[in-house]
Amino acid sequence: MKIERVTGRLSLRRTIETGTEEQRRAVQNIIHDVRTHGDTALKMYTEKFDQVTLDSLLVSESEIEAAYKEISEDMLAILREAAANIRDYHERQKRESWMTTKEDGTILGQKITPLDAVGLYVPGGTAAYPSSVLMNVIPAQVAGVKRIVIVSPPNKQGTLPAGVLVAAHELGVKEIYKVGGAQAIAALAYGTETIQPVDKIFGPGNIYVALAKREVFGQVAIDMIAGPSEIVVLADETAKANEIAADLLSQAEHDERASSILVTPSMKLAIEVANEVQKQLETLPRKAIAAASIARYGAIYVTDTLEEAIAVVNELAPEHLEIITAEPMLVLGQIRHAGAIFLGRFSSEPVGDYFAGPNHVLPTNGTARFSSGLSVDEFVKKSSIIFYSEQALKENGKKIAAFARAEGLEAHARAIEARGTV
């Protein structure tokens, strides 16, 4: 890994990918085809991109039963315990509707209503992601969403990974469809003969999925345009190089575009970590992916002081931040921008990916400056409630009418005056 001394401001914010013109046109054509031809288009694109011909898009009961046979009892118990932890955490995020009454009889409030239907895109490709199922479905259920739909690209056998199917079944999801890519996003947004449309789409995917989510935004809501995974480790001389190297590689193995960064005031630690990363890379099953990630987006930044290191972290605004210092709780208060914060050497980032309870769907590309990780709030709507009393309108009607006329909206003013209270 390259080691660089940092003495001033540092920003590694990446431009959020918007794709090439050719990719955008391809996505627009796919969406048009799905809107026009429905299931026929979905099956055609599944055959073209996934090299499998499907009779049915819906996952069958027999596929669920087969998936359970592939999962060990130990793994099933772990998945269930992780689900319980995640549910417990998200239950604490739940908001309630409220109303308050003022002395003049006015009632103001807020009504919390869950979305009717949401869609979850679970990526396929080089790995299976049952954790993504847990992290997206559980907060939707806690929020009270009644209809939850999962879409995911099928493998060459025409089914989905066992872990994904088991996780979905454990949570009671009934609608699981074997379709991926931009065509799956189009189906969720506009509907087909088999897949009814949803109100909001969640989940990461490749550039075509990201572009499709951009295209359908407005017809439906979307969660975010997710970029490659990121980790920043903020560490001082008390940290252990082998542990930091392992944590950096845990993100690097995700994707060749993933970013793994150490920020430290210790040059000694920086050199040790760089050596450890190269050593540990040699035995990784996903060595090629992790090595490419480290070569392109891996870095170690050395500052003069811990305070300067903290400033660098806030500039980076990382998706995942580990604080491995002598007093991590004292550092926590100085962190302004991070999607998730892991404190101390035993809070390795994969603890949050799978088991602790907080959501692992987090802002990337420096967007932790202004956005948060996935929560129950993403699955509800908030409606304001106003019951204005006659007394309140008598007291405030002239002010409201004057405000309306100041904006040149005479009809607004007259609507207040029509009540005969002004």
38: left (phi over 0), alpha (psi -120 to 50) or beta: left
From 319, 322, 349, 378, the catalytic residue = 319
Whether 320 is catalytic? yes
Structural contact between residues 9 and 315, judged by C-beta atoms closer than 8 angstroms: yes
User: Shortest CA distance to 14 belongs to which of 310, 333, 319?
Assistant: 319
Structural contact between residues 105 and 391, judged by C-beta atoms closer than 8 angstroms: yes
What contacts 150, CB < 8 A, 6 or more positions away? 119, 120, 122, 133, 137, 164, 168, 173, 175, 176, 177
- Give the three-class secondary structure for 24: helix
From 253, 320, 322, 360, the catalytic residue = 320
Structural contact between residues 300 and 264, judged by C-beta atoms closer than 8 angstroms: yes
- The phi, psi pair for 118, rounded to 5°, reads -130, 155
CA distance 99 to 386: 9
- Give the three-class secondary structure for 88: helix
User: Shortest CA distance to 324 belongs to which of 388, 236, 246, 201?
Assistant: 236
The dihedral over CA atoms of 409, 415, 417, 422, expressed in degrees to the nearest 10, equals -100
Whether 170 is catalytic? no
CA distance 341 to 70: 34
CA distance 115 to 189: 14
Q: What is the DSSP string of 218-284?
A: TTBEE-------EEEEEE-TTS-HHHHHHHHHHHHTT-TT-EEEEEES-HHHHHHHHHHHHHHHTT-
- The phi, psi pair for 304, rounded to 5°, reads -80, -35
What contacts 227, CB < 8 A, 6 or more positions away? 14, 16, 17, 257, 364, 365
CA atoms within 13 A on the CB side of 259: 22
- Give the three-class secondary structure for 301: strand
- The phi, psi pair for 409, rounded to 5°, reads -110, 85
CA atoms within 13 A on the CB side of 36: 7
List, by residue number, the catalytic residues.
319-320
